[in-house]
Amino acid sequence: MRSGLDLLYRLSGGLAAFFLMMIAVTIVAQIVGRAVGVTIDSTESGGFFLAGTTFMGMAYTLKTGGHIRVSLLVSRLSGAAARGADILACGFAAFGSAYLCWETYGMTHDSWRFGDLSPGLLAVPIWIPQSVMLAGLVLLTIALIDDLILLLRGAIPGFAAPHETALDGIEQGE
């Protein structure tokens, strides 16, 4: 089960990277199009790819400890109190993320049911980018529940995993 979940998180990170690359591709296409006299609007597609990058990257970022975590309170606690605060925060986040999944599903279903189209030049069925958003939220909820279970078992969750940051050398005066 662990290897399957880790693969799922890596795949979502890969999809986020793909959507990020697609933002660059659409911008380059717009630049080249402008040079040859063809109008290519990358604003709408870039926005869809940005949503894909953001939402598909959330679970991967959580599991690799990349989210910004304000640990002002937890750093002042020790032992069971710190673990309890982490459990409470992770449980609250999982509940909130699950609620967002529910609401996003309703919005996506309504968009599909009514045949809503994006308001720009492309006229994309809006349920398509909303589905990517929903998938990312579902993956984030799974990752949060996964971390909550790890916390309850006494293991170190992904969000608290030690990792090197770009600022590590600066903090030590190097």
pLDDT value, residue 39: 82
pLDDT tens sequence across 101-135: 999 999 999 999 999 998 888 889 999 999 999 99
Q: Which residues of 5-36 are buried (b: 16+ CB within 10 A; e: fewer)?
A: beebbeebbebbeebbebbeebeeebeeeeee
Regions in the chain scoring below 70 on pLDDT: 70-71, 161-174
What is the dihedral angle through the alpha carbons of 113, 115, 116, 117, rounded to the nearest 10 degrees? 150
pLDDT value, residue 167: 44
Q: Where are the beta strands (DSSP E) in 35-163?
A: none
Nearest to 98 by CA among 88, 90, 110: 90
Give domain limits for the chain. Answer: 2-162
pLDDT value, residue 52: 96
Number of H helices and E strands in the chain, helices first, is: 5, 0
pLDDT value, residue 70: 67
Measure the CA–CA gap between 100 and 128, rounded to whole angstroms.
17
- Please say whether the beta carbons of 105 and 130 come within 8 A: no
